């Protein structure tokens, strides 16, 4: 048995031949990387996004990596609308014939203290991240059950320790972990698995640009036990594993892919000054509130 588990490459070519992946937030840096890996190994795909042109462009780029690959880019899809997702599922079945894997990756985030965070802004993140994930499950469930398929939710690690300026995202991701656990129990008897994947700081992504100061990236990297930022390929590899036959008996759990970063993420210095200063943050794209307070990474 051990001798058979030998290959020149980590993943065997064609292991996802005939499979179809349905991915929300699929035009984003991390999610499109996940889909790209699956397509390169034989899958066809549909990626969903809010921006029509960007979603279709990314779908074309992914399709080009494997001759004969079919990748649909469905833009103008708001995951807060279950009707929009049902329409996307119908298109997927019409064009690709099935849905085996679902990646719930649509998310929204910005930096804000609770003091400056309106109830509407908090609700917006909950609706995109949590309700959007639930809507995606509802829309795809019948098809995934047919195929004894797999759900994967893109989560985070912030709620493991707590983190300032992220109360909205922390609440949403903690709930997503709980939702995935509940699904693993309800859907397990049908042969369907449900897991989460929690990325750490991933270099070169829009998320890092929105939530981290460029001037602090070196310090952030030194605070990661493995002493480097993550790459999109790190997340893609974990995704391939969870959808591969190697993970047939894995459900109701999560994989953290962060180089050990979450073990040190609560080390915000100096504390409590960082949450009391009221100073705005420079060099960060994702901000909310007039007097944003921000931890220095």
Within 10 angstroms of residue 156's Cβ, the number of other Cβ atoms is 27
Phi then psi dihedrals of residue 25, to 5 deg: 70, 25
Query: Is the distance from CB of 242 to CB of 149 less than 8 angstroms?
Result: no
**Exactly one of 112, 167, 173, 288 is catalytic; which is it?**
173
**Exactly one of 155, 167, 180, 184 is catalytic; which is it?**
155
The alpha carbon dihedral of 225, 226, 230, 234 has a sign of: negative
In a 10 Å sphere around its CB, with 0-12 CB exposed, 13-18 middle and 19+ buried, how is residue 20 labelled?
Answer: buried
Within 10 angstroms of residue 267's Cβ, the number of other Cβ atoms is 11
Q: How far apart are CA 158 and CA 36, in angstroms?
A: 26
62-66-71-75 Cα dihedral, nearest 10 degrees: 10
> Is position 173 annotated as part of the catalytic site?
yes
> Is position 194 annotated as part of the catalytic site?
no
C-alpha closest to that of 130 among 174, 195, 88: 174
Q: Which residues are catalytic?
A: 155, 173
């Amino acid at each position: 048995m051990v001798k058979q588990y030998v290959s020149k490459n980590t993943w065997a070519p064609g292991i996802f031949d005939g499979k179809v992946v349905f991915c929300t937030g699929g035009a984003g840096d991390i999610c499109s990387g996940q889909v790209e890996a699956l397509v390169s190994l034989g899958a066809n795909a549909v990626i969903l996004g809010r921006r029509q042109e960007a979603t279709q462009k990314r779908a074309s780029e992914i399709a080009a990596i494997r001759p004969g690959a079919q990748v649909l880019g469905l833009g103008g899809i708001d995951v807060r609308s279950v009707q929009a997702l049902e329409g996307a599922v119908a298109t997927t079945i019409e064009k690709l014939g099935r849905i085996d894997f679902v990646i719930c990756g649509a998310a929204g985030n910005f930096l804000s203290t609770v003091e400056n965070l309106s109830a509407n802004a908090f609700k917006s993140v909950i609706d995109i991240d949590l309700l959007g994930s639930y809507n995606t499950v509802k829309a795809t469930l019948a098809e995934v059950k047919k195929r004894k398929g797999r759900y994967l939710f893109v989560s985070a690690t912030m709620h493991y320790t707590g983190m300032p300026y992220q109360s909205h995202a922390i609440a949403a991701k903690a709930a997503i972990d709980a939702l995935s656990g509940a699904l693993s129990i309800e859907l397990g008897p049908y042969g369907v698995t449900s897991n989460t994947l929690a990325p750490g700081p991933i270099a070169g992504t829009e998320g890092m640009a929105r939530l981290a100061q460029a001037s602090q990236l070196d310090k952030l990297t030194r605070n990661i036990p493995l002493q480097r930022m993550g790459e999109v390929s790190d997340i893609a590899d974990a995704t391939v594993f969870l959808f591969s036959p190697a993970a047939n008996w894995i459900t109701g759990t999560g994989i953290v892919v962060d180089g050990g970063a979450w073990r040190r993420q609560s080390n915000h210095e100096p504390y409590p000054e960082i949450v009391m200063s009221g100073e705005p943050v420079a060099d960060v794209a994702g901000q909310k509130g007039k007097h944003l307070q921000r931890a220095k990474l």
